[in-house]
Structure 1
């Protein structure tokens, strides 16, 4: 499997950006997740980076999101050049989604998939939330563009073929990214040892003290 030098460079830049962000990371003590992150859990990229175990999810997510953007760009480029039917379908889908305000657009990768609004506090109400703004009906949403004409049977068969080719492109790009990521495993593990493990150990120590403390007397 031949490594694309531009892909290797982009992976290196993604790791650089993540390493620059990591010293600003702190454990969250109030935000819980209701489901497993499908992007990080069981990810071969996280395994290649050495972040597939004993690492807080937010630490994983900041890197996995950046890597996903690299793979997405590879697939987008391949689709634009070689898969006209799929490209047209994706443009139509984006045109419809553009009618809805999306407050998460443009945020740094670390915020992807995380709540945009704080938990409600009855003692400090706020006038609006970003999630509420996203739900507002806009003039564009009220009058969506007309749907495209239905595909013919031949076009449906061709579209299924193009989707399969796009999936194969994503799998191939993912494998190349894993190979490139493995080259950075050493400095990733050193950064985790410096910036993450001491904070996790301190958090566990504080928790242990609270659990061992005798109940207060009333």
Structure 2
């Protein structure tokens, strides 16, 4: 598995490196809630991406790596955890029957991001994308009930899947250490100059009202 995992990590980093030159600072208002996928992520730390790097840059890599973990866990579950696999199959069939699935098919940079911007006080939305998705989900029939014994067995299989995911995540962190220099070089070349330009522009905007030479 290690060689295959190493190749997947290299491909994910290479894809992120090809994307970074297209990154630009967001012009919309920042979100209040932190991203649970990126905040304090050991994956990002192993890759050499610090907390001061813009979230969009972080998210582009963390999402690509999460896809590797999810794929590995899916294969492990299919081979070893029949009850959990059956529940996932039921959920997948249920999801496919939804008429509206706005969170699917997104580029890695947008996966897991909120579907709607934060509301502005005093200016409520007429509708939200997340609200329409919830309405589509509410129309689906519930999953079949489980006995207490089945619930206990399912919890045990979920714990095994989580343990395997943690193991894969630790291995990926080790593999990412080999890519730190290229990741940090891309941030220095493409991200930091844009941030410095924004700070310089902000500084000029703040200083100009107090400049005696300003008319």
TM-score range, shorter chain: 0.7 to 0.9
Q: Distance in 2 between matches of 1:146 and 1:172?
A: 33
Gaps of 5+ in 2: 120-126
Shift of 1:152: 4.4
Counterpart residue number, 1:92: 90
Q: Distance in 1 between matches of 2:97 and 2:200?
A: 49
- 1:113-132, aligned counterparts within 5 Å? 113-114=112-113
Counterpart residue number, 1:40: 38
Residue 104 of structure 1 pairs with residue 103 of structure 2: yes
- 1:18-97, aligned counterparts within 5 Å? 18-97=16-95
Shift of 1:95: 2.6
Counterpart residue number, 2:122: none
Q: Do 1:116 and 1:130's aligned partners in 2 also have CA atoms closer than 8 Å?
A: yes
Q: Distance in 2 between matches of 1:115 and 1:39?
A: 12
Q: Do 2:9 and 2:65's aligned partners in 1 also have CA atoms closer than 8 Å?
A: yes
Aligned-residue Cα RMSD (Å) equals: 2.7
Counterpart residue number, 1:184: 179
Residue 150 of structure 1 pairs with residue 146 of structure 2: yes
Shift of 1:107: 1.1
Shift of 1:148: 2.0
Cα 1:97/1:213, change in 2 over 3 Å: same
Q: Do 1:41 and 1:52's aligned partners in 2 also have CA atoms closer than 8 Å?
A: no
Counterpart residue number, 1:212: 207
Any idea what SS the aligned residue of 1:109 has?
A: coil
Any idea what SS the aligned residue of 1:110 has?
A: coil
Counterpart residue number, 1:124: none
Shift of 1:158: 2.0
TM-score for the superposition, normalised by structure 1: 0.83
Shift of 1:119: 9.2
Cα 1:24/1:99, change in 2 over 3 Å: same
TM-score for the superposition, normalised by structure 2: 0.85
Name which of 181, 186, 191 aligns with 1:196. Answer: 191
Q: Distance in 1 between matches of 2:65 and 2:134?
A: 29
Gaps of 5+ in 1: 121-127
Cα 1:84/1:137, change in 2 over 3 Å: closer
Cα 1:33/1:118, change in 2 over 3 Å: closer
Q: Distance in 2 between matches of 1:170 and 1:117?
A: 29
